[in-house]
Amino acid sequence: MADGNGSNFDQFAAGVFSNNPVLVQLLGMCPTLAVTNSVENALVMGAAVTFVVVMSNLITSLLRNLIQPHVRILIFTLTIATFVTIADMALRAYMFDVSKKLGAFVPLIIVNCIIICRAEVVAIKCSVSRSLADAFGMGLGFTMALTILGIVREILGAGTLLKQPVLPAAFVENGHNWVIMILPPGAFLTLGVVVGVVNHLRSRKATGGVA
């Protein structure tokens, strides 16, 4: 983990690539599996999580010298719950249809371990700029992973991308779309393949491109 060493940009890049919360750390599996059946859902969920992790890291980092160690989890949870509720209300006000589809998974961001993990590992020890760099990296990494799953599942499952048809209409009309991709098993299968590819790339990198 690149925590504490290197530049702020390294911290940011680690969240997106080498320490990606979903594809490398395998955290936050609940929304990853549940809401990636379309790109739109994935992007909105990613944006909501990014907002919460940024605000949580910001507040935690600002208050890091005031927080008593044994009440820190309480403060993290309080902060996260507040901003999740704000995000939920904002979605219901401005993106009503998407928020209906995301259903309970927006309030459930409260228990998303990526966010509390970043507060505990980075924000409580590091400067505000470092914590923000970390939060944006993690948020972007999370959004990217969800979007990759969303692209695969939406194209194969519904023949569309961001609701725009990308495959001929006959694909869905004649039952050629992969229904399994819109269902939960499709999320597991896609995630398995994507994590497999990422692991393959990482092992090649680790051995200098030999394996």
Partner 1 sequence: MSDAEIPPLPEATPAAKPVPESRSEFLVTSAPHLAAGVSTRRVMFEVVLAMVPLFVFAVYMHHARAVVLTAATLAGCLLTEVLANAIRGRSQASLSDGSAVVTGVILAFSLPPSLPPYMAFIGGVVAIALAKAVFGGLGQNLFNPAMVGRAFLMVCFPAAMVTWAVPVPLQEIGVDATTMATPLYAAARNEAIPAMSDLFVGTVGGSLGETSALLALIGGLYLVMRRIADWRQPLGVLAAVAIFAAIAHRVNPAEYEGPLFHLSSGALMFGAFFIATDYVGAPITPRGRLIFGFGVGVLVMVIRVFGAYPEGVMFAILIMNALTPLIERWTTPVPFGGHVAAA
Partner 2 sequence: MRKFVAESWLVLVLGVVFACLLAGTQTQLSAKIQANQAKALENAIAEVVPGFDEKEQLEIDGNRVFKCVDGSGQVVGWAVDATGSGFIDKIRLVVGLSPDGATITGLKVIEDLETPGLGNKIEGEWADQYETLDATRPIVRVKGERHAADNEISAITGATYSSDYVTDIVNDVTRRIGPKLAEQQ
Contact string (CB under 8 A) for partner 2, positions 143-162, x = contact: --------------xx----
Least Å distance between CB 153 and partner 1? 12
Question: Residue 154 class from Cβ within 10 Å (0-12 exposed, 13-18 middle, 19+ buried)?
Answer: buried
Binding site partner of 82, from partner 2, partner 1, none, Cβ cut-off 5-8 A by kind:
partner 2
Q: What amino acid occupies position 177?
A: N
- In which element (H, E) is residue 161 found? strand 160-161
CB of 58 to partner 1, least distance (A): 42
For 28, phi then psi, to 5°, come to: 65, 40
- Select from 69-77, 117-125, 140-148, 188-196 the region that touches partner 2 (CB under 8 A): 69-77
Residue 181 as a binder of partner 1 (CB under 8 A): the answer is yes
On whether the CB atoms of residues 46 and 146 are closer than 8 A, the answer is yes
Side chain identity, residue 74: L
Residue selected from 2, 43, 58, 90 as contacting partner 2 according to rule CB under 8 A: 90
* From candidates 85, 111, 178, 202, binder to partner 1 by CB under 8 A: 178
**Per-residue b or e along 109-138, where b marks 16 or more CB atoms closer than 10 Å to that residue's CB:** bbebebbbbbbeebbbebeeebbbbbbbbb
The residue type found at 94 is Y
**Minimum CB separation from partner 2 for residue 132, in Å?**
19
Interface residues with partner 2 (CB under 8 A)?
37, 63, 66-68, 70-71, 74-75, 78-79, 82, 85-86, 89-90, 92-94, 96, 100, 103, 157-158, 177, 179, 182-183
